[in-house]
């Protein structure tokens, strides 16, 4: 199976390295020439638990050099999904599958508009990664990857990708209701990302103060009200889940925190901003998400 990673930041490089280490044929595609050059010259350096290893993997800035692939993984920031969807459509031809494990909402829809929706698979992953510099990432945490078909008829395709990932040592499960899964991940990002990005704290520090716990809870409660209005099945207690993930990823900066630290555009519009838009349509007040969105937008505008 030939694979392309569209977007080789921290997470794209991590998944690419896991697949390459398992002997799979994978090419990283990224716009950062310094990152691509470093990987092609020295290999990708992956740091994990204080140990470093080098993974040999090919990388390019030019999608045209990759040729048709059986599986394209989209790992760009959600601000770049439109372009990535066009690239995914070209690379996957008429039969290849396209998988998004990106944060936020709207990514799978964008892919499904650019290519046959029956070939789109979406999901979430609990792996964590940090971009350290050109050619270097840190594997910051391990966990399950859960994927599902964007259209109900494509369950067998999601299962085949899950089997393929499991063979490569990436623990993966296929589920039929990917929409509920993406909302469950959205609640986590709603409770952690903007708060950590705005305050400079690490994920686990949300739990240190009653005030940040309450802020995360209020943001998630608003998002749950929007989800209910849209008929989304909510499993378990999303606020408790936010606290668990904040604890489990305690020493990490959230991806939005890393974006703000580096002066990069954040995924606010696919996370808290998404809730604000959906809430407006449903006539539900979401003052906490509105404020978090406005503050992140302000920060970005003044980098």
48, 185, 202, 241: which one is catalytic? 185
| Closest approach of ligand KPL to the CB of residue 111, in Å | 19
> What is the spatial distance between Cα 90 and Cα 68, in angstroms, rounded to a whole number?
8
| Closest approach of ligand KPL to the CB of residue 236, in Å | 16
Question: Which three-class secondary structure string do you get for the chain?
Answer: CEEEEECCCHHHHHHHHHHHHCCCEEEEECCCHHHHHHHHHHCEEEEECCEEEEECCEEECCHHHCCCCCEEEECCCHHHHHHHHHHHHHHHCCCCEEEECCCCCCHHHHHHHHCCHHHEEEEEECCEEEEEECCEEEEEECCCEEEEECCHHHHHHHHHHHHHHHHCCCCEEECCCHHHHHHHHHHHHHHHHHHHHHHCCCHHHHHCCHHHHHHHHHHHHHHHHHHHHCCCCCCCCHHHHHHHHHHHCCCCCCHHHHHHHCCCCCCHHHCHHHHHHHHHHHCCCCHHHHHHHHHHHHHHHCC
| Closest approach of ligand KPL to the CB of residue 249, in Å | 4
Pick 164 or 243: Cβ nearer ligand KPL:
243
> What is the spatial distance between Cα 264 and Cα 266, in angstroms, rounded to a whole number?
6
Which residues of the chain form contacts with ligand KPL (CB under 6 A)?
103, 128, 188-189, 192-193, 203, 245, 249, 252, 254-255
Pick 35 or 185: Cβ nearer ligand KPL:
185
Pick 192 or 198: Cβ nearer ligand KPL:
192
| Closest approach of ligand KPL to the CB of residue 141, in Å | 8
25: Cα separation from own chain's centroid: 22
Q: Is 185 a catalytic residue?
A: yes
Pick 226 or 245: Cβ nearer ligand KPL:
245
| Closest approach of ligand KPL to the CB of residue 139, in Å | 13
Pick 7 or 96: Cβ nearer ligand KPL:
7
Q: Which residues are catalytic?
A: 185
């Amino acid at each position: 199976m030939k694979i392309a990673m569209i977007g080789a930041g921290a997470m794209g490089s991590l998944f690419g390295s896991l697949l390459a280490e398992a002997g799979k044929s994978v090419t990283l595609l990224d716009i950062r020439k310094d990152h691509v050059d470093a990987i092609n010259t020295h290999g990708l350096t992956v740091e994990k638990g204080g140990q470093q290893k080098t993974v040999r993997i090919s990388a390019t800035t030019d999608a045209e050099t990759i040729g048709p692939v059986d599986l394209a993984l989209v790992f760009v920031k959600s601000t770049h999904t439109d372009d990535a969807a066009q690239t995914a459509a070209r690379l996957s031809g008429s039969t290849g599958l396209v998988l998004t494990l990106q944060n936020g909402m709207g990514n799978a829809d964008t892919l499904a508009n650019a290519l046959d929706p029956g070939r789109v698979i979406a999901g979430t992953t609990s792996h964590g990664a940090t971009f350290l510099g050109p050619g270097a990432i840190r594997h910051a945490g391990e966990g399950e990857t859960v994927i599902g078909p964007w259209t109900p008829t494509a369950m067998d395709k999601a299962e085949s990708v899950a089997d393929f990932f499991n063979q490569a040592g990436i623990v993966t499960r296929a589920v039929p209701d990917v929409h509920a899964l993406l909302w469950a991940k959205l609640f986590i990002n709603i409770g952690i990302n903007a708060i950590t990005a705005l305050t400079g704290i690490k994920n686990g520090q949300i739990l240190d103060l009653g005030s940040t716990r309450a802020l995360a809870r209020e943001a998630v409660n608003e998002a749950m009200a929007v989800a209910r209005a849209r008929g989304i099945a909510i499993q378990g207690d999303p606020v408790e889940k936010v606290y668990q993930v904040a604890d489990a990823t305690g020493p990490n900066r959230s991806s939005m925190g890393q974006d703000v630290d580096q002066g990069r555009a954040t995924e606010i519009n696919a996370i808290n901003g998404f809730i604000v838009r959906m809430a407006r349509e449903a006539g539900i007040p979401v003052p906490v998400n509105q404020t978090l969105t406005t503050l992140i937008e302000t920060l970005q505008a003044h980098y």
